[in-house]
Each structure stands twice: as structure tokens, then as C-alpha cells.
Structure 1
């Protein structure tokens, strides 16, 4: 009887241990490695506990470092730092773009990206001149050269880190590209 109980307990323990393991081998890997860049967080995950103790500096988010450049036909050069929102990521993946920019209202320029941006988890926009935003109801990206007062459906993508004073002078076709050396 003890042998049967012992056998059953051993079998149950084996089943429990195998059930606690990862089942990732059964799920397809859908990661797009061509679009994925290692972040400081993902690199630090591979560090040993000893190296984590040595590296006690706060971790920086790689997405905070992503920048895009808007070049105007008259030599304007505006650099925006993107936030880590889903909408900013969606725009980033559509770059580079050559696209028409239009005047709108008294404080903004707009353009329509080829694909709508996914706004899930994206904060609403409100801020100073130089705010980069997405107005979901119309599907346009907004470059504010005056204060961004906020609106329902207006989502923050980032902020100008240089050239905000040149946004107002943009017209016609602009070129938007990723800043590689930030």
C-alpha cells in the first residue's frame, strides 16, 4: 500500500512541476525582431544578481530617447522626442514619410499619416507650444506652435526638443524621419 501511495504522490508531484513550467514552447513566437530594439530593461534582465547590485543607477527608458526630425522645404528642422505611447509607436513605425502639412486654426500645423494611429493607453495631450499630438476623430497629427489646450480625442505623442519656433513656418511638403544618432 505504501508503494502505491508513494508512486501516486511521485506522479502527482511530476505533473505539478511540469504544469508550473512555461508553456511558451506551445505558443507561436510573434515577435518582429526586425522592429525590436533591445532596451536597457531587456539587457538588464540578462544580468546576474551580482551585476544588478553594481549597477544601481536608475534605468532609462529607451523609448524616451526616440526622436524624429521634421524637415521643411525652406530648411526648417524640428526635432521631437516621442513618448512611449502606443500612438507614438504606431507613428514611428510609419517613418520615413514625405507628406503635405497644412495650416489649421491659429496655433497648429497638421498632416495625415498613411495609417491611423492606435491610441490605446495613450495619454491625452495638453501642454506648451512644441507639443506633438494626434487628433483621433480626424486621424491627423498636430504640431502645435502655440499652446495645446487639449481636447477630447487629442492624444500626446511627444514634444519638440529643438526648433519649436520653426513649426509655424512649415508649409507644403515636409519630410519626417527617425533621428538615428540621439
Structure 2
């Protein structure tokens, strides 16, 4: 489960939920999916940190779920971070459903 921040990009992603979408391996530290609509990065902070971060890679329009540390990138914007299930991110594959959950 992720807690999203108050950025414009995170709000736009939230507005697209629920999503049933394919999650893919990208690198050795993350999983990605492509939301139906690109997100605006206006007032969205750069992604800093590592394991458990939810980010948006603006040039390709993919949402990135990091399960290990990563290097900062000027095109990577933070959407939120994992609050539970962080160790399960690496196991995700195929079609998943992403929905909103208020805590």
C-alpha cells in the first residue's frame, strides 16, 4: 500500500483509479506501469531515496514502484511511498488492480 503525496501528478494518478493494468519489470530495482493518461509534473518534487518510493518517470509516462535503492534522476518525480507491503513489490507481475483506499 502506498501513501501518495499532495503533488499535482499524484492527484492526477489518484483520479484515474481504479486501474487494472499490466505491471512490468524494468530494471533490477523496480516495477513499472503506464497509466492511461500522462501526469502533470507541475509542483511535483523530485524523487529522492530508495526502497518503497512511488515515482513518475516523465519522459516515458510510466509510474515506477521501487523495491530497492535508486539513483536520483532529473526526470523522476515522487508520487508517494510505501506504508505496507514494501517487500512484496518485487513479486508483482502481470495484470494487477490498483485502487484507492482511505486510511
Q: Shorter-normalised TM-score: what interval?
A: over 0.9
Residue of 41, 60, 68 corresponding to 1:119: 41
Q: 1:156 and 1:104 mapped to 2: Cα distance?
A: 17
Q: How far has the Cα of 1:148 moved from its partner? A: 2.7
Any residues of structure 2 matched to 1:45-60 within 5 Å, and which? Answer: none
Q: Structure 2: which 5+ residue stretches go unaligned?
A: none
Contact preservation (8 Å) 1:126, 1:156: yes
Structure 2 partner of 1:3: none
Shift of 1:126: 1.5
Size of the alignment, in residue pairs? 103
Q: Which has the higher strand share?
A: 2
Q: How does 1:167-182 map to 2 (within 5 A)?
A: 167-180=89-102, 182=103
Question: What TM-score results when the alignment is normalised by the length of structure 2?
Answer: 0.97
Q: Which residue of 2 aligns with 1:149?
A: 71
**Residue equivalent to 1:84:** 6
TM-superposed deviation, 1:150: 1.7
Counterparts in 2 of 1:98-113, with a 5 A limit? 98-113=20-35
TM-score, with length taken from structure 1: 0.56
Flag structure 1 segments of 5+ consecutive residues without an equivalent: 1-78
